[in-house]
Amino acid sequence: MRVDLVLENGRFFTGDARMPTTAAVAVLGNRIVARGEDALALETAERIDLRGRAVLPGFNDVHSHSVWFGTTLMEIDLSHVRALDELYAAIEQGIRQRANPNPDEWIVASGYNPALLQWQVPDRDVLDRVCGGRPLWIKFSSGHACQLNGVALARIGVRDRVDSQPEGGRIVTDETGRATGVLEEQAMSLVRDELLPAPIATIDRALELATAKYAEQGLTSVTDAGVAAGWIGNAPGELEGYQRALERGALRTRMQVMPEIGTLGLLPGHADEPARRGLSGGLRTGWGDDRLQLGPVKVFTDGSILGRTAAIEEEYENCPGNHGYLQEDADTLRSKVLEAYAGGWSLALHAVGDSALDLALDIIEEGIGRFGRRAVPNRVEHGVVVRPDQIERLARLQVVCVVQSSFIPAFGASVAGALGEKRVGWSIRARTLLDAGLPLPLSSDRPVTAGLPLAGIQAYVERITEEGGAYNESERLSVDEAVHCATVGSAEATGQQHRKGRLIEGQLADMVVLEEHPAEVPVSDIHAIPVLATLLGGAFTHRTEQI
Ligand SMILES: [Zn+2]
């Protein structure tokens, strides 16, 4: 057999118990066909000497937002802002750099994390001055709130005195009752309705920028956790944007894409059959292969811990009576989601608080009981607070709890402040989930956190907050376990373990070449390991001069 590529003299960490390490791998087409001596013996079109570098299966982030992340790369970046003056200055500078000729055009900034400013609210009047009369939209990094200036509020029809509130959201007011410019949850649709759908060119460019960044960081597979509808969608035809990106070679990672449930409409069926929901969001011929495929349907049941909008059983710390809220009435959610399940979809239910998780598990349990299990696992997104009694239920239903270790270094101390000590012990779990026999993937919720997969691995092991304190240390993983999550665990969580996650014959030749294996450096340095190359199906999507 003549193969396309032999990578030799590497230190391949295969994730395969029968041959945990090997020095060579042979690739034919887009798959691994031989390892070790067998690979070296083959005739090949190309041979690359890796000079002892560590090679792992390509990283897989199962909850990221690619279009959203890609658009942030085109907007004013506020991710480093830690004081109001810095925020005003960054926006002023961003406007100057853009030299935007149209005085009516919206200024958009993103990456803003109010936790870093102790939740001080920027002054909408100062923002008006800074923007010289242009409307301003600041997207919070959480995605669950945003801030406008006064010009923008007027543009979307929000008066200074707020007389009515939208369902499932809030137009925030100050002590005098004046709108501050902050819009929470469903209230964000007011600005989104004004500015979206995004132009096709924006979606194209966003996917190109996002997946180029993924490749540089060693990612070969990413799941986009919600597109084409709801507050997370950028345009109703977003799914088709992915297909277009693939066709013109601009998609540098394999993508599993979750349509938001708003893309699904009722599908008429036989009178004896249950009501079903199916896709009307831009699906067309050619969907679904190794490079691009439909994932589960994404459904938001609640909000975020930091916004105090996640639904929790016991009130938030120091917020008497505040239990957060569901994004929709529980019965409406239940029937809609079960219709999607009846239509054959796997479920990805955003459930951050334990009350939201109760509802999510009730729905999934009912769905399994009535319509059976799914090949692609059902999942809950974030599962930040998982009470001890909920672990057994997750395990029994085999629901993947898609936690983000990266939340800990980004805003773990703020989460702890909102939850209080007892619930911190139940939160951002990892060890307990593994011990319960559940697949545990790696995910970042990028751009909610920066998203570097090596940093996510480090956070699984280290669990140190933005303030330097330890966070629920009992849930720590070993480095090898965290690497397993980023590769095998993610493949299992997305129902792809037969195709990827390990460097074995028959699997996709998706690999990341690192200067060193994460277990070979101090834990605090894992994030800084240079990513020397990334291969997708045996072809380089990222390659430095060292390879
Ligand atoms: Zn998300």
| Eight-class DSSP state of 260 | B
The pocket of ion ligand 1, defined by CB under 5 A, consists of 225, 445
Ligand 1 center from residue 378 Cα (angstroms): 16
Integer angstrom CA distances of residue 125 from 8, 170, 229:
62, 20, 32
| Eight-class DSSP state of 222 | E
Residue 420, amino acid: G
The predicted pLDDT at position 546 comes to 94
What is the tens place of the pLDDT at every residue in 100-128?
667 788 999 999 988 888 889 999 999 99
Q: Are 42 and 2 in contact (CB under 8 A)?
A: yes
Residue 284: count other Cβ atoms within 10 Å of its Cβ.
9
Ligand 1 center from residue 41 Cα (angstroms): 46
- Residue 297's φ and ψ, nearest 5 degrees, are -85, 140
Ligand 1 center from residue 305 Cα (angstroms): 13
d(CA 309, CA 304): 5
Ligand 1 center from residue 224 Cα (angstroms): 8
Q: Are 381 and 420 in contact (CB under 8 A)?
A: no
Ligand 1 center from residue 404 Cα (angstroms): 10
Ligand 1 center from residue 28 Cα (angstroms): 36
The predicted pLDDT at position 101 comes to 64
Q: How many CA atoms lie within 13 A of 243 on its CB side?
A: 15
Q: For every residue of 368-435, which 3-state class applies, written as one string?
A: HHHHCCCCCCCEEEECCECCHHHHHHHHHHCCEEECCCCHHHHHHHHHHHHHCHHHHCCECCCHHHHH
Ligand 1 center from residue 381 Cα (angstroms): 8
Residue count (the chain): 547
Q: Are 465 and 416 in contact (CB under 8 A)?
A: yes
Q: Report the candidate in 147, 332, 298 with the shortest Cα–Cα distance to residue 229.
A: 298
d(CA 435, CA 288): 33
d(CA 66, CA 234): 11
Ligand 1 center from residue 225 Cα (angstroms): 6
Ligand 1 center from residue 353 Cα (angstroms): 14
**DSSP string across 306-370:** TTT-S--SSPPTT-TT-----SS-HHHHHHHHHHHHHTT--EEEEE-SHHHHHHHHHHHHHHHHH
Low-confidence residues in the chain, pLDDT < 50: none
Helix (H, G, I), strand (E, B) or coil at 231: coil
Taken in order 321, 326, 332, 335, is the CA torsion positive or negative?
negative
* Helix-strand-coil split of the chain, %, nearest 5: 35, 25, 40
C-alpha Rg value of the chain to the nearest Å: 23
Long-range contact pairs involving 241-245 (C-beta distance under 8 Å, separation at least 24): 241/67, 241/200, 241/203, 241/204, 241/207, 241/282, 242/207, 242/292, 243/284, 243/286, 243/287, 243/292, 244/200, 244/204, 245/204, 245/207, 245/208, 245/211
d(CA 468, CA 406): 14
Ligand 1 center from residue 19 Cα (angstroms): 36
Q: Is the peptide bond before 197 cis (omega within 30 degrees of 0)?
A: yes
> Which residues sit opposite 254 in a β-bridge?
221
d(CA 48, CA 6): 6
Ligand 1 center from residue 63 Cα (angstroms): 6
Ligand 1 center from residue 138 Cα (angstroms): 18
pTM of the model: 0.92
Ligand 1 center from residue 271 Cα (angstroms): 37
d(CA 390, CA 423): 13
Q: How many CA atoms lie within 13 A of 376 on its CB side?
A: 21
Q: Report the candidate in 12, 29, 4, 13 with the shortest Cα–Cα distance to residue 290.
A: 29
d(CA 408, CA 465): 5
Q: Are 124 and 160 in contact (CB under 8 A)?
A: no
Q: Are 359 and 347 in contact (CB under 8 A)?
A: no
Tell me how many degrees the CA angle 80-83-86 measures, rounded to the nearest 5. 65
Ligand 1 center from residue 443 Cα (angstroms): 9
Q: Are 318 and 349 in contact (CB under 8 A)?
A: no
Q: Are 35 and 496 in contact (CB under 8 A)?
A: no
Q: DSSP H helical segments within 56-110, as ranges?
A: 66-72, 84-98
Ligand 1 center from residue 494 Cα (angstroms): 15
The secondary element (H helix, E strand) that includes residue 5 is strand 5-8
What is the tens place of the pLDDT at every residue in 448-473?
999 999 999 999 999 999 999 999 99
The predicted pLDDT at position 119 comes to 86
Ligand 1 center from residue 454 Cα (angstroms): 19
The predicted pLDDT at position 279 comes to 84
What is the tens place of the pLDDT at every residue in 13-72?
999 999 999 999 999 999 999 999 999 999 999 999 999 999 999 999 999 999 999 999
Q: Are 67 and 31 in contact (CB under 8 A)?
A: no
Ligand 1 center from residue 156 Cα (angstroms): 25
Ligand 1 center from residue 65 Cα (angstroms): 6
Would you state the structure tokens that stand for residue 179, as one six-digit string? Answer: 């709108």
Ligand 1 center from residue 327 Cα (angstroms): 15
Taken in order 497, 501, 507, 508, is the CA torsion positive or negative?
positive
Ligand 1 center from residue 444 Cα (angstroms): 8
